[in-house]
């Protein structure tokens, strides 16, 4: 998340410094496209994993069967 934040801050600073430079205009278009998927991934994926970890639940099944020969019991 900090890398995304730094990219956005550098893009904002470049916008303030520029007064219509073509190279900065290209960077303004590229940086949000690269930053938004990372921001969405950071916001959506780690939070469910942190609050609800997917742990496979193994339920032990104990089957009690009657003896086959009643006279031997």
CB atoms within 10 A of CB 39: 15
Please report the pLDDT score of residue 18 as a whole number. 63
User: What does the domain layout of the chain look like in residue ranges?
Assistant: 2-51
| pLDDT value at 59 more than 50 | yes
What integer is the mean pLDDT of 54-64?
78
What mean pLDDT is reported for the chain? 63
pTM: 0.23
Q: What is the DSSP string of the chain?
A: -HHHHHHHHHHHHHHHH-SS-HHHHHHHHHHHHHHHHHHHHHHHSHHHHHHS---------------S-TTT-
Q: What is the dihedral of CA 32, 35, 36, 39, to 10 degrees?
A: -150
pLDDT at 1 over 70: no
Stretch 11-22: mean pLDDT: 66
């Amino acid at each position: 998340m900090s890398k995304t934040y730094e990219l956005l801050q550098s893009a904002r600073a470049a916008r303030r410094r520029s007064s219509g430079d073509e190279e900065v205009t290209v960077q303004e278009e590229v940086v949000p496209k690269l930053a938004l998927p990372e921001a969405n991934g950071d916001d959506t994926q780690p939070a469910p994993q942190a609050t609800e970890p997917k742990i496979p639940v193994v339920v032990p099944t104990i089957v009690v069967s009657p003896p086959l020969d009643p006279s031997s019991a």
